[in-house]
Structure 1
C-alpha cells in the first residue's frame, strides 16, 4: 500500500544486531541526487530503542525522500541501511492512500495480524516444549518463547480488544462503523484510520511524515501521550512546533546548503536556542578568521615591498663587504618572516570556515489593492446545510468585522471546510443567506494543494495574471519562496510543502483583502511558517483560519469559533504550555 506500510526489513537491506539490543536502525553515508540536484549528502545516524527524533528542514530539502529510502520505496545512490534482525518498521506518509476495496475492519484485522501470528507461535512453542525431552532443544525453544512472548506483551497482545478501542477513541474515529469502506471516508478520516492501523500494528520503528495534519486538539494531545509511552523508536517529520516540544527528545536537521544531517539534543525549543547560539558563534569565528587573514595579507605585502626596496638600495659607505653581509642577513631575515606569514596564511585559508549563508528572508506580504470599506465584511444569516441525514450546520448567524482574526476549530468532520466552501460559493447552503461587503476581495487557501501536476512553477504562478514572464518571475523569486532554478520544475516534481508555498505565492499575487485559510500551516516547513505568520499579523483585512495548530493560534491570536453540533460557539484559544 503506497503511503502506508508496515513491513519487515526488506531483504536487500543489510542485517544488523538482534532487535533485543539497543540499536534498531543504522544509516551510513546515504546520498541521493535527482539529476544534478543533490538532495541528501552523506547522511549517517543510528536510531536506538525509545529514541524520539524530530526531522526538520526547509521544504524540498529531502525529509520525505529520506523516509522513502528507509522504507525501501526509493533507492539511495550510495550508502547502506541496516535494521536490527527481525525489526519491524511502520510508515505513515503525508498523502493517505484510498485503500480501495477495504473496510475499516479489514485494515484493523490486518494491522493486528502480527500479534495473532505471535500468539499462534507462542502456543506452538508451548506444545513443543511440553513434548521435548532434549535439554539442548528445550533451551532453544525456551529462548525463542521468551523472545516471542516479550514481543506479544510489549505490543499489548493480552489487551488487544481494549487496545483497539483505546486507539480508535483517542484518534476520534470510534464513531465510524467498522464495516464502512475506507474509500468513502473524508481525507482526515482516512488519515486517522491509517494512523490507527499503524499504531495498532505496534512496529519497533515508527516513521511518521506530518502525522498531526488531520488531527484535532484532543487527538493530538492523545497522540503525544501515546508516543511518550511507546516501546519502540520514533522518527517523525513535523511542522507542529508544540508537538515537537512534547513528542521528541532529539532534532535532526537536514541542512539546505550542504544537504547533510545535523543533530541536536532536546525538543524544538532547545533546537531553536542551539541554532541561535550556533549561528552567533559561526559569525563571530568567521569574522575573526577573516580579520586575521586580512592582517596577514597586509603583512605579506609589506614584507614583499620591504624585500624589494632592500634589494635595490644604493650602498651607503665604502665597506662593500660589510654592506653585502648586512644586506644578505637582512634579506634572509625578511624572507624568513615572509615565508612564515605565507605559511600561516595558507594554513588559515585551508581551515577557514565558509561564509555563513544569508538567512532566508521570506517577503510573504499581502498587499490588498483595495481596502475594506465596510465595518461588517461577511454576514451569515440562518445558514443551514445537511448531507443526507447528517446536519452539518444549523441556523448559524455570525458576522466578520473588517479587522477580525478568527480561528475556526472543531473536531474532524464537524463541517469547518464545508462552511468555508459555502462562504466561497463552492457549496450552496440549504437555507439562509451569506452577504459580503461590495469591497471584499476574498483569497482562499484550500486544505490540500490543488495544482496541475504538468504545469511548471512559473506557469502555475502566472496563471490569470497580467504581465511579462520575466516580471512575474522576479516577483515570485522576490517572495523568497522559490529560486530561479525552480521556475521550470513541474508541479509533479515538488514536495507537498513546495506545492503549499506555490499556492501561498498565488494567493499573495491575487491581492485579496479577506483571507480564508484552511489548515494554513499544513506541510509548510518551520522557516517559512514563521514568516507566513508574520505576514498574517500585518495583514490589514480580516483573517479566518481553520486550524488545530496550537502554536499558530497563540501567535495569530484573535477569537476562536468552535463548530460543534452544527453551531458556532465562541471559545478561549487553547493555552500553549511549553
Structure 2
C-alpha cells in the first residue's frame, strides 16, 4: 500500500498543490486529471520518490513496490533486447547466468560448474522462468514493438516506439500481485486501438493499485473508479467518484451549485448593505436634528440606539464575510480561444501513392468539406500518409493534388530546440512581431513565454503552439495526427468546439473515440 499525507509543493513561492492525501492499495483505480501545468507530473514524481515535497511524506507498506511509466527517453545507447530484458529483473539475470554455465559445461565441465548450474536452474524454476519468454513475446506483440530487432540501438527508433518500449518494460517489471502499485503517465499516447484495448484488459486483471494520468476519456471510463483533480485554481485536490463521465457530470453539478450559492449570497449581501445604509441614514438624520437643538433627551437616546444598531449590523456582516462559510467569487482559468479560418472548402486527391513498404499504390479522394478518419494499426502508414498529403514527404510513386494542407504532427521530436516561441511562430506565420505577440497571447502564450526556447516547453504547451500556428495559416485542408495527445480536458473541449464549427476539410488520425464522435468524423479510410 502507498500512503501520501499532507503533500505540498511550491515553485517560486507560489503553491502548486497543498494538503494532498492519497491512499493506493490493492484494487484501487484512481485517475489523476487537471490542466497542463497544474502539477500532475510533479505529484507523480513526489509519489515515486523522485522529488522531495515541501511538506508531507509518502510511505510504502513492507513488500510494496512501484512501477512508474513517465515516457522518459531511456539510455539511447542500449539495445531494444537488453532494455526489454531488463524489465524481467532477476529472471533475466538468472537466465543469462544459466546460458553462461551451459556454455561452460559444454567446453570445460567440472563439479563446481555443475553444482552452480543446479542451484541457478532451481532458482529459475522457483521464479517460473519459463513464463518470462511468453510474457515478453505477448507484451512486445500487444504494444507493437515486436518488429524491432533486439540489436537495434534505442537512438535509431522513433519517439513513439521508445514510449511503447518503456511501457512494455514497466509492465514486464510489474509483479502481478496486490502489493504492486502502478503509476502511469499518459500510457495510451502512442498506442493504436488494439493496444489500448489490450492495456485496458491487462489493467482490469491487475490486482494491485493503479494511479493513471490520461487525456483519453474512454480509457479513464474503462479503467478508474475514482478521480482526483488538480484544477489549477484550488491548491487542494478535488475528489470525485466514478470514471471520466461521472467526474465531468459531478464537476458541472458542483460548479452550477456554487454559482447559485454565490448568487444567493451576493443577493443577501446587497440586502444587508442596503439595510445598513438605511440605518446609517436614519441615524444621521436624527443626529442632524440633535445638532439643530431640536431634540429631546428621549430623541438623543433613540439616536444612540440607531447608531449602535447600524454598527452592530456592520460588525455582523464583516464577521460573516470573514467566516469559512463565506463563498469567494468563483474563479475560472483564462480561457483558450481557438477559431479555424472560415475559408472555402477544397478537396484533396492522392493517386498511386507508394512509400517504401508502408503504402502501396494508394488512391484517396477527399471532397471539400469531408471529415475523414484514417484508421489502422501502428506501422500501417497513417502518419506517413499525412506527411505525404502535407507535402512534407515525397512518395516513391504517385502524386497529390489539391490543398494547401497543414499538418499537426503526432510527436514533437523535431521541436526540442533552442528556437524561441516567438521565432518559431513567426517562421510559420509571417506577421510583424507586435501582431505575432498579440496572436500568441490569445492562445495563452503571455510575454513571459515569447523568448522561451521550445526545448523548455511541456508537451501540452507545444501542442497549443502548433494549434496556434495552424489556425493562423492559409491552409484549406487540416491534417491532424493524434491531435488529442498531451491536451488537457479544457483544451480538448475548445478544440472540439472549434473543429465542429470549421467548414473546411478534415483528415484525422485519432485513437480517441470521444473526439472522433465530437467533431463528426463520418467517413473512415482503413489502411
- TM bin, normalised by shorter chain, reads 0.7 to 0.9
> What residue in structure 2 maps to residue 412 of structure 1?
378
> What residue in structure 1 maps to residue 466 of structure 2?
503
Q: Are 2:365 and 1:399 aligned?
A: yes
SS of the equivalent of 1:196 reads helix
> What residue in structure 1 maps to residue 196 of structure 2?
220
> What residue in structure 1 maps to residue 349 of structure 2?
379
Q: Which runs of 5 or more residues in structure 1 are unaligned?
A: 1-22, 120-148, 564-578
Q: Are 2:177 and 1:205 aligned?
A: no
> What residue in structure 1 maps to residue 493 of structure 2?
530
- Within 5 Å, give how 1:262-281 maps onto structure 2: 262-281=238-257
For 2:482 and 2:496, locate their aligned partners in 1 and report how far apart those are by CA, in whole Å.
13
Q: CA deviation at 1:44?
A: 3.0
Tell me if the contact between 1:114 and 1:201 (Cα under 8 Å) persists in the aligned partners: no
- Within 5 Å, give how 1:12-411 maps onto structure 2: 23-33=1-11, 35=12, 37-97=14-74, 99-104=76-81, 106-114=82-90, 159-202=131-174, 204-313=180-289, 323-324=296-297, 326-351=298-323, 352-358=326-332, 360-367=334-341, 371-372=344-345, 377-386=347-356, 391-411=357-377
CA deviation digits over 1:83-104, x for unaligned, max 9?
Answer: 2234211211134435422232
Q: CA RMSD in A?
A: 2.9
> What residue in structure 2 maps to residue 127 of structure 1?
none
2:401 equivalent among 435, 457, 463: 435
For 1:531 and 1:462, locate their aligned partners in 2 and report how far apart those are by CA, in whole Å.
24
Q: CA deviation at 1:167?
A: 2.6
SS of the equivalent of 1:408 reads strand
For 2:157 and 2:432, locate their aligned partners in 1 and report how far apart those are by CA, in whole Å.
44
TM-score (norm 1): 0.78
CA deviation digits over 1:80-137, x for unaligned, max 9?
Answer: 2222234211211134435422232x23332121467999xxxxxxxxxxxxxxxxxx
Tell me if the contact between 1:30 and 1:80 (Cα under 8 Å) persists in the aligned partners: no
Tell me if the contact between 1:24 and 1:49 (Cα under 8 Å) persists in the aligned partners: no
My pick for the range that moved more, 400-409 or 84-93, is 84-93
Q: CA deviation at 1:156?
A: 8.2
How many residues are paired up? 491
- Within 5 Å, give how 1:426-465 maps onto structure 2: 426-436=392-402, 440-449=403-412, 450-451=414-415, 453-465=417-429
For 1:492 and 1:510, locate their aligned partners in 2 and report how far apart those are by CA, in whole Å.
23
Tell me if the contact between 1:188 and 1:412 (Cα under 8 Å) persists in the aligned partners: no
Tell me if the contact between 1:31 and 1:42 (Cα under 8 Å) persists in the aligned partners: no
My pick for the range that moved more, 246-255 or 464-473, is 464-473
Q: CA deviation at 1:49?
A: 2.5
- CA distance 1:383–1:116, shift in 2 (3 Å): closer
Tell me if the contact between 1:254 and 1:260 (Cα under 8 Å) persists in the aligned partners: yes
SS of the equivalent of 2:289 reads coil
2:437 equivalent among 473, 492, 502: 473
For 1:317 and 1:423, locate their aligned partners in 2 and report how far apart those are by CA, in whole Å.
93
Q: CA deviation at 1:501?
A: 0.6
Q: CA deviation at 1:525?
A: 0.7
For 1:60 and 1:263, locate their aligned partners in 2 and report how far apart those are by CA, in whole Å.
19
For 2:309 and 2:271, locate their aligned partners in 1 and report how far apart those are by CA, in whole Å.
14
Tell me if the contact between 2:8 and 2:16 (Cα under 8 Å) persists in the aligned partners: no
My pick for the range that moved more, 238-247 or 197-206, is 197-206
Q: CA deviation at 1:364?
A: 0.9
My pick for the range that moved more, 492-501 or 72-81, is 72-81
For 1:99 and 1:494, locate their aligned partners in 2 and report how far apart those are by CA, in whole Å.
22
For 1:25 and 1:261, locate their aligned partners in 2 and report how far apart those are by CA, in whole Å.
15
- CA distance 1:188–1:316, shift in 2 (3 Å): closer
1:544 equivalent among 489, 507, 512: 507
For 1:169 and 1:492, locate their aligned partners in 2 and report how far apart those are by CA, in whole Å.
33
For 1:156 and 1:355, locate their aligned partners in 2 and report how far apart those are by CA, in whole Å.
60
For 1:81 and 1:24, locate their aligned partners in 2 and report how far apart those are by CA, in whole Å.
7
- CA distance 1:468–1:378, shift in 2 (3 Å): closer
Tell me if the contact between 2:38 and 2:230 (Cα under 8 Å) persists in the aligned partners: yes
For 2:371 and 2:419, locate their aligned partners in 1 and report how far apart those are by CA, in whole Å.
34
For 2:266 and 2:515, locate their aligned partners in 1 and report how far apart those are by CA, in whole Å.
40
Tell me if the contact between 1:31 and 1:43 (Cα under 8 Å) persists in the aligned partners: no
